[in-house]
Amino acid sequence: MVKTSILKDAIKAFGLHLEMERNLSSQTCRAYLSDLRDFSLFMEGQQSGGISQEKRVVEDFDQLHLRMYLANLYKRRLQKSSIARKLAAMNTFFRYLIREGRISTNPLTGVSAPRKDLLMPRHLSVDEVFDLLGDRFTDDVKGMRDRAILEIFYSTGIRLSELTSLNREDVDFEQSLMRVRGKGRKERIVPVGMPALRTLKDYLKKKGSLGEDGSPDDRKGPLITGRNDERINPRTVERIVDKYMQRSGNQKKISPHALRHSFATHLLDAGADLRSIQEMLGHESLSTTQRYTSVSVGRLMEIYDKSHPKARGGSSQA
């Protein structure tokens, strides 16, 4: 077997593989590489049996090293989901090295990832969403932009990364539809409510980005912009959500993802079927969407109490 490169070089080559051959989004690639660099830093701090830290190669790693790293993750009190994610990234990395002929076995074989805790998605009630969107936004470009962002999140249920990557050509105002590029750069079409479309059009009109026919003039440009009219930064969007949550009087600390959860939960409460919600959210697996059934258990109990003949303990004749 051909001698492999040192760990840092192997990680760099793996990053190019993810970006060029697997065509993953830049955000996904960064997440993979960040987890692998964490493992690399840990290994640099270990005694290497006479092998220079700078010369350590991936062939040197065995299951003992991986168990030592796993113990270190637990010692750092990382969440189980974070530990499982790191191990998943490493498993993908080692499988890549096997395909490249650099190692013969996967050192993660037999190392079990922790069972993830079932975390309930944080979401807002309908009243809380209306309080958030009912804020008196300023009528300048920034205020109209902020309102459009919040309306789009709740109207479509898209992810933060999906919102920031939207271009003007992705919105069909006539058909009330939006083209979204999701995880793995997979595209889907989602419906957009009229309030969200109105606020979006007001924002584009205010910043002079609508043509005479009422459609965006530069259709290739970013839909929502930040400083210097460049594509808005995800961190800026997070600050916008936090700002208006505080202004609405709600003390909950939420992320933009909570508006996505609110979108799905409120659809489910109103009677939408899981398959339709799955399509709109862009989930590959229905089991991911089914997490929202736990959130809406109160609604299910309400329907049960109203509809089932024996729900209130009444008797029925055989």
Domain ranges of the chain: 7-99, 126-303
Q: Which CATH architecture has domain 7-99?
A: Orthogonal Bundle (1.10)
| Helix pair 26-44, 80-99: axis angle to 10 deg | 90
Percentages of the chain per state (helix, strand, coil), in multiples of 5: 55, 5, 35
The pLDDT score that the predictor gives to residue 164 is 95
Spans of the chain, pLDDT less than 50: 1-4, 48-55, 315-318
| E runs forming strands in 57-157 | none
Tell me whether the CATH fold assigned to 7-99 matches the one assigned to 126-303. no
Of the candidates 56, 102, 159, 261, the residue annotated as catalytic is: 159
pTM: 0.60
The pLDDT score that the predictor gives to residue 287 is 76
Active-site annotation holds for 183: yes
Fold of 126-303: hpI Integrase; Chain A (1.10.443)
The pLDDT score that the predictor gives to residue 303 is 65
Cα–Cα distance between 108 and 88 in angstroms, integer?
10
For residue 120, which of 280, 256, 246, 290 has the smallest C-alpha distance?
A: 290
Of the candidates 85, 260, 261, 266, the residue annotated as catalytic is: 260
Give bridge partners of residue 180 from the DSSP assignment.
Answer: 188
Contacts of 5 (CB under 8 A, 6+ apart): 13, 57, 58, 102
Cα–Cα distances in angstroms (integers) from residue 185 to residues 17, 77, 128, in the given order: 16, 33, 32
Residue 177 Ramachandran class (φ > 0 left, ψ -120 to 50 alpha, else beta): beta
Tokens of 260: 């996505």
- Distance from chain centroid for Cα 268: 20
The pLDDT score that the predictor gives to residue 121 is 61
Cα–Cα distance between 171 and 175 in angstroms, integer?
9
Active-site annotation holds for 292: yes
Of the candidates 102, 145, 201, 283, the residue annotated as catalytic is: 283
Cα–Cα distances in angstroms (integers) from residue 122 to residues 13, 261, 311, in the given order: 38, 7, 29
Active-site annotation holds for 198: no
Of the candidates 67, 231, 257, 291, the residue annotated as catalytic is: 257
The pLDDT score that the predictor gives to residue 1 is 35
The pLDDT score that the predictor gives to residue 215 is 61
AA letter at 109: T
Tokens of 304: 């049960």
Cα–Cα distance between 313 and 154 in angstroms, integer?
39
Of the candidates 183, 206, 219, 231, the residue annotated as catalytic is: 183
Active-site annotation holds for 257: yes
